[in-house]
Amino acid sequence: MGWTVYNSDGKILQSAELGDNAVTSAKIADGAILNADINASAAIAKTKLASLDVVNADVNASAAVALSKLATTTVSRALVSDGSGVISPSAVTSTEIGYLDGVTSAIQTQINAAGGLSAASEAEMVAGSSNTVAATPGRTHFHPAVAKAWANINAAGDTLMQDFGCASVSRISTGKYRTVVVAMAASNVFFGATNSVAGDDIVTFNMSTNTQLDSYVLRAGSVSNIGHSVLTFGEFA
């Protein structure tokens, strides 16, 4: 490569040939070499760049970086942004996310609209007709289909072997027993049976007060001391 200097009249004043490797980087003006000056096949090594760090501004908006190029995270978890705004895995699993499939509106709104069964009041249990309230253990005994009191009484009449709603029992005379129960309404219905297998045993009842259930046991027509059971349905006083 050579160079030539001309005067204003076009006459050659000086000329010379540039030797190989004669031009140094110091002779090139800063910023003079543009992107277009670099051949597409130059294959410049990354190590020749000032920095290997790629920042957000370096990525073109249309780069469409593949997800496979991102670092992996916890598998099968929903992703959320943490307190720093960084995407991170949550405790919610992909299975739990699947439960939302088919949801068409706010879940809590649907739950509130569906509501739940409220506990039946004592009056509702006594009426025994509602299908929109739930029976609870503490009020089930108010329902007319449930016994208000029952007891298995031994022959001596001094022990409630098993019972519900009964306070005590005593034998007040031969074959006559008195069980103290919760206060009953006068309209209550009573049932009884002896603990024996004899076919001619009979148990009869009488409420001496609304808290005293008197039972009489007859065997072959005679009042007898026989273990038996008593049971009452109806309403509380």
Return phi, psi of residue 68, to 5°.
Answer: -65, -15
Other Cβ atoms less than 10 A from the Cβ of 7: the count is 9
pLDDT of residue 189: 72
Residues 98, 78: Cα–Cα separation, whole Å: 11
pLDDT at residue 160 greater than cutoff 90: yes
Span 172-181, mean pLDDT?
A: 91
Beta-carbon contacts of 199 under 8 Å, excluding residues fewer than 6 positions away, are: none
Tokens 């593949």 -> residue: 66
Residue 14 bridge partners (DSSP)? 5
pTM of the predicted protein model: 0.48
pLDDT of residue 214: 87
Least confident stretch, 25-34, 189-198, 204-213: 189-198
Residue 177: CB atoms within 10 Å:
28
pLDDT confidence of residue 91: 92
Q: How much is the pLDDT for 10? A: 66
The three-class DSSP label of residue 137 is coil
Task: Give the lowest-confidence range in 3-12, 47-56, 219-228.
Answer: 3-12
Burial of 183 (0-12, 13-18, 19+ CB in 10 A): exposed
Distance (Å, rounded) from C-alpha 177 to C-alpha 152? 12
Q: What are the tens digits of pLDDT across the range 38-78?
A: 888 888 887 777 776 778 888 888 888 888 888 888 999 99
Q: Of 136, 127, 138, 230, which is closest to residue 177 (Cα–Cα)?
A: 230
